Chain A
Amino acid sequence: MKLYIHAANSFLNDPATDISTLKEILKNESGKSFRRINRFIYLTLIGALGLAKETTIDKDTALYLATNYGSIASTIGSLTDVYEAKSLPMPIDFINTASNIGGFYIASELGLTSKNLCISAGEQSFEAALELAALDIESGEVNAALVGGVDETTGILDGFLEGSCWILISANAVGAIGEISFDETDESDIFSFEEDFDVSKQHGYYGSYSAFAVTHFLENFSGKSICFNKMRICVF
């Protein structure tokens, strides 16, 4: 089965960056200010709305957000309130421990009327999200899908960048920038493709790093193809 990629967007960031910087970046990407959101949601929105800025996203596009570690800062913040300050958590912090809240804001912003999932499968979270998206497009349940990998690293996972990388896929080939085919037999590791595409060395990596590997590949390797986890990405 083949699906077509219509847009890609990468966002990698130094976790030491202050959240006010993320707020500015999001304002540039989306044209508006969001309030009462946390770092995880800032990352989510910067990546997804940054992609939306470059392309048309139909309202019946489904959303599949992949994450390895989920909403870290809010969880730690809330636990700190409960166990160190011995108080109830702050309401907004607690709400934002849920990793699907970012999906809510994207759906709200883009007027999405279709499926909205948050998936994790460890370091293959992005692949899992892609699989579920492909499944639903193949069955006809959804027409197009925004699939992204988002992870904080809170500066505690030393040397790793935080990131939010997204692609837009559908069964429609017209105007596509690349394609994905599934059920390949080649089990190559995306990180050993070639010297100048050693993602882990150049950029450090974050929890759902294969999302970055895919978007980076799409953005920089025109005419090339790569296999990983039994999927093949060809850039047109």
Chain B
Amino acid sequence: MEALIKKEINRTEKPCDPRDESVKKSYFGIDVQMPSHERFYRIIFDAVTQAKEDAGVSDEEFASLTLFVGSTSINLPIYEDSFAACAANGEPYFEAVGYDIVAKKIADEFGIKAKRYTINTACTSSANAIISAASMIRQGKIKKALVVGLEIYNNLTLCGFEVLQLLTKSESKPFDKNRDGIALGELCSAVVLSNEKVRESDFEYLGSANICDTASVTGSDESGESARVCMQKALKAAGVQPSDITAVKAHATGSAINDLAEGRGLKALFGEKMPPICALKPYIGHTLGGCGIGELVLFVQCIGRAVLPSVPSFETMDEEIGFAPITCDTPVGNGVFLLNYFGFGGNSTAMVVSNR
């Protein structure tokens, strides 16, 4: 495993294991020497605090927010450290902590007394978390929600993707003819969702869809039909047509099958009138369950700066897909945007947001 980690670190210029000694400044600006359990929660609490401050929510009001967490690995980074330590001593380790553990710790830290929901649906986890939160707000059950997307580095995930031969040997090249797999990433991202705007520039959630692609457990319906159906349903729920879509944030992992399925789905949905297709994974890696919120935040912040970033690694169109994502930074203004997410077990989510 050490060899695998070193291979990953050498392959990309950016470190993927922030605990590596050679890294001076880790992701998140957090000291690499910090014990991983502390680091884990420091990352989460910092993200939540930033969201709270950005939304201008008082401590008191924050305590009444309903909490949604979306994550694939949840607290696995800490769990596996304990497991490893016991294994090193020849002791068995098992602690029944439950999937609610991170949500509970966030609630304890911020005094959140309201209900908590943890969504665990592979790569669509935090996307599904926000659409559940949005539904609750829309139907007047709650006024505000805190939605957190989380995926922190852990060895098991890296090893698992390696054994499934899903990792790229070069870099993440979404939709490219020569794409060869996924580059993983880690993040924690948080949003405060509310029934009213805080700033004029705040994005509005218009609608979404979630379905299960039953073609294959780790793959996708290669015809693209399942992806198309998911996106179509989301547009319908949002009350918009394909021609209303200003740009798309694709899931675009750089894997052979996912990009083919999603690409064909996009082509079938938009036909000749493809809007700009943006892909963020070359920048932050595939953050699995965290990408729902993480890529949403990144995407809306880019739009806020009036530019959609190019897909830097894209070189050659794949004829089977038949279009290219944006290859230069693209100006963007107010509009209606489609965001796609597809995960293991065929879980598929698409959501529509707008800043009009």
Contacts and interface: CB of A to CB of B under 8 A. Distances in A.
The short answer to whether A and B are in direct contact, CB under 8 Å, is yes
21 contacts: A69-B98, A69-B99, A76-B94, A80-B87, A82-B159, A91-B163, A94-B159, A98-B72, A99-B120, A116-B210, A116-B347, A117-B132, A119-B118, A119-B120, A120-B119, A121-B117, A121-B118, A132-B135, A135-B141, A139-B135, A156-B94
Given A70-B98, A98-B344, A128-B115, 9 more contacts: A69-B97, A80-B87, A83-B84, A94-B159, A100-B121, A100-B347, A101-B217, A101-B345, A141-B237
B96 A157 contact: yes
| Number of chain A interface residues as a range | 35 or more
Given A82-B1, A95-B218, A112-B212, A68 B98 contact: yes
A82 B156 contact: yes
A103 B212 CA distance: 8
B156 A100 contact: no
A91 B161 CA distance: 9
A141 B87 contact: no
Interface in A180-226: 207
Contact of A135 (B76, B97, B132): B132
A107 to B, nearest CB: 4
Contacts of B160: 78, 88-89, 94-95, 97
Interface string B118-141: 111110000010001001101101
A118 interface: yes
Contact of B117 (A68, A70, A119): A119
B155 interface: yes
B162 interface: yes
| Number of chain B interface residues as a range | 35 or more
A108 interface: yes
B83 A119 contact: no
Please give me the 7 A-B residue pairs with the lowest Cβ-Cβ distance, nearest first: A120-B99, A94-B160, A122-B100, A116-B212, A104-B345, A88-B163, A107-B212
Contacts of B164: 91, 94-95
Contacts of B263: none
A19 interface: no
Interface string B80-94: 100110011000001
A67 B160 CA distance: 23
A72 B344 CA distance: 18
A67 B99 contact: yes
Nearest to B88: A83
A121 B156 contact: no
Contacts of B18: none
Nearest to A109: B214
A225 B155 CA distance: 49
B257 interface: no
Contact of A101 (B97, B132, B159, B344): B344
A79 interface: yes
A84 interface: yes
A100 to B, nearest CB: 5
B162 A83 contact: no
Contacts of B343: 100
A32 interface: no
A117 B115 contact: no
A117 B162 CA distance: 26
B117 A89 contact: no
A193 B279 CA distance: 54
A29 interface: no
Residue of A67, A82, A136, A156 ringed by the most chain B CB atoms within 10 A: A82
B104 interface: yes
